[in-house]
A = this chain, B = another copy of it.
Amino acid sequence: MEALKEAIRREGVGIGRDVVKLDSFLNHRIDVALSTEMGRALYEAFKEDQVDCILTVEASGIPVAITAAQAFGNIPVVFAKKGDNINVGPDVYSAEVYSFTKRATTSINVSRQYLREGMRVLLVDDFLANGEAMRGLMSILLQARCQLVGVGVCVEKGFQPGGNMLRQSGVKVVSLAIVDAIQDGKIILRDD
């Protein structure tokens, strides 16, 4: 998606060999116009796939999950909650997710009542890197007997294995931008 690629070129910061910092518009400060446009792009990519519901994980997947749901005509968004949360209650689907960024494992949880059997669910997130969060969400969909429609993300780190592992297992993966490498602090985008 060109507007996202432009924002990455203009504001993205590459750190070391694998950190892509897009804080200024994607996951700390949010460029709401761009987020709305990314939501529409995910809708365009999955509009033929009969999506009933969008599932993401808190927190930075939420903005694009909301804007995508708007583009789909206000379908519901469910966000998995991290850690133990007395607000969610015990009646949850749960999965363990390892975060390379935080170097820790967290449980993610979704109340059983919001994922009904047979529901067609699109997974959405801001980043796809090693695919740990997506594997956790897919485990939750399996437990809930929901159908995985596909995975839509804003930015895929193409030099990390998550995206290709999902594609090789037959999942429809749509990434609005793919970072192929970081070289001397410069973010190299695919098709650049």
Contacts and interface: CB of A to CB of B under 8 A. Distances in A.
A63 interface: yes
5 A-B pairs with least C-beta separation? A58-B59, A59-B59, A33-B74, A30-B77, A32-B69
Interface in A19-44: 19, 21, 23-24, 27-33, 35-36
24 contacts: A21-B87, A23-B88, A24-B113, A27-B87, A28-B88, A29-B114, A30-B69, A30-B76, A30-B79, A31-B74, A32-B66, A32-B69, A32-B74, A32-B76, A32-B77, A35-B66, A36-B70, A36-B74, A59-B59, A62-B62, A62-B66, A63-B66, A66-B67, A85-B102
A28 B70 contact: no
A165 interface: no
